Structure 1
Amino acid sequence: MKRRWLFGTALGLLAGIGITGVRPRIVHAPEVISTTKRLQLTLKDVLKSNHVNGILLIGSDDTPTVIQNSLVGANSQRVVSSHRYFPTASLQKLLTGLAIYTLVKEGKLSVNTTLATYYPQVAHAKEITIGWLMSHTSGLADTQTVAPRVLMSQSEQVKYSLAHYKSSGKETWNYSNIDYVLLAAIVSKVSGESYDQFVRDKILAPWGIKEIKPFSALKASQVSKSLLPTASWTSLRRAMSATFGAGNYLATPVGYWQLISHLMDDQAASTWLHKYADQKTVSYFGGIYFSGNSFHANGGYAGYSAIASGDFSTQQRMIFFTNNINLGTAKTIRTQLNRYYYSKLAQELD
Structure 2
Amino acid sequence: MINLKKYLWIVAGLSLLVGAVAPVEVAHAKSYLTITKTKNTDYNARFVNQKARNDGIYYYGPYYTQHSAKTRDASGKNWQHRFVRVSQTVTLSNGAQFAKFSWYGKTIGWVDVKALQKYSRSQKIQTFLNHANFQGSAMVFNNFTKGASHVSVGYANADKKILNSKNSLYPTASLQKVMTGALIEQLAASGKLSMNTKLSAYYPSVNNSKNITIRQLLNHRSGIDMDETTPSKVLTSQNSEINYTLDQMKVAGNNNYNYTNANYVLLAGIASKVTGKDYNTLVNQRIVKPLGLKHTFAWNQLPSNAQVTTGYRYSNGKANQSGAVSTKMMSSLLGAGNYYTTPEDYYAIQKGIRNGKILTKNQYYDLMNDYHYSYAGGLYHLTGSIKRVRGVLSGSGYEAILYGTEGNRQGVVLFANQRPTRSIDDLAQDLYDVARYYNEN
Could you say whether these structures have the same fold, taking a TM-score greater than 0.5 normalized by the shorter chain as the test?
yes
SS of 1:320 mapped into structure 2:
strand
Name whichever of 132-141 and 310-319 sits farther off: 310-319
- Aligned 8 A contact 1:56 1:319 in 2: yes
* Map of 2:54 onto structure 1: none
- Aligned 8 A contact 1:56 1:321 in 2: yes
Q: Which has the higher strand share?
A: 2
Question: Does residue 227 of the first structure (1) align with residue 351 of the second (2)?
Answer: no
Runs of 4+ in 1 over 6 A off after TM superposition: 31-34, 71-75
Distance 1:204 1:115 in 2: 27
Q: Could you tell me how far 1:186 is from its partner in structure 2?
A: 0.1
Among candidates 219, 235, 253, match of residue 343 of structure 2:
253
Alpha-carbon deviations, 1:309-330, whole Å to 9, x = none? 2213571132111111169732
SS of 2:250 mapped into structure 1:
strand
- Aligned 8 A contact 1:143 1:166 in 2: no
Q: Percent same amino acid at aligned positions?
A: 29
How many aligned residue pairs are there? 315
- Aligned 8 A contact 1:136 1:176 in 2: yes
Question: Does residue 136 of the first structure (1) align with residue 220 of the second (2)?
Answer: yes
Alignment of 1:1-350 (within 5 A): 30=114, 38-59=120-141, 60-62=143-145, 64-70=148-154, 76=160, 79-218=163-302, 222-228=307-313, 229-232=321-324, 235-266=325-356, 267-274=361-368, 276=369, 278-280=371-373, 283-291=374-382, 292-301=384-393, 302-312=396-406, 315-325=409-419, 329-341=423-435, 343=436, 345-346=437-438
- Aligned 8 A contact 1:88 1:249 in 2: yes
Q: Could you tell me how far 1:190 is from its partner in structure 2?
A: 0.4
Distance 1:73 1:177 in 2: 29
Q: TM-score, normalised by structure 2?
A: 0.65
Distance 2:217 2:421 in 1: 23
List runs of 5+ in structure 1 lacking aligned partners.
Answer: 1-25
- Aligned 8 A contact 1:226 1:304 in 2: yes
Name whichever of 307-316 and 73-82 sits farther off: 73-82
Task: Identify if the C-alpha distance between structure 1 residues 182 and 73 changes in structure 2 by more than 3 Å, giving closer, same or farther.
Answer: closer
Q: Could you tell me how far 1:222 is from its partner in structure 2?
A: 3.3
What's the C-alpha RMSD, in Å, of the aligned pairs? 2.8
Letter of the 1:259 counterpart:
I
- Aligned 8 A contact 1:61 1:261 in 2: no
Alpha-carbon deviations, 1:35-88, whole Å to 9, x = none? xx5543332221121121122102233453212232688995663321121111
Distance 1:185 1:304 in 2: 26
Q: Could you tell me how far 1:277 is from its partner in structure 2?
A: 5.4
- Aligned 8 A contact 1:58 1:66 in 2: yes
Q: Could you tell me how far 1:349 is from its partner in structure 2?
A: 7.0
Higher RCO, 1 vs 2 (CA within 8 Å, ≥6 residues apart): 1
Q: Could you tell me how far 1:264 is from its partner in structure 2?
A: 4.8
Distance 1:144 1:75 in 2: 30
- Aligned 8 A contact 2:404 2:432 in 1: no
Larger radius of gyration: 2
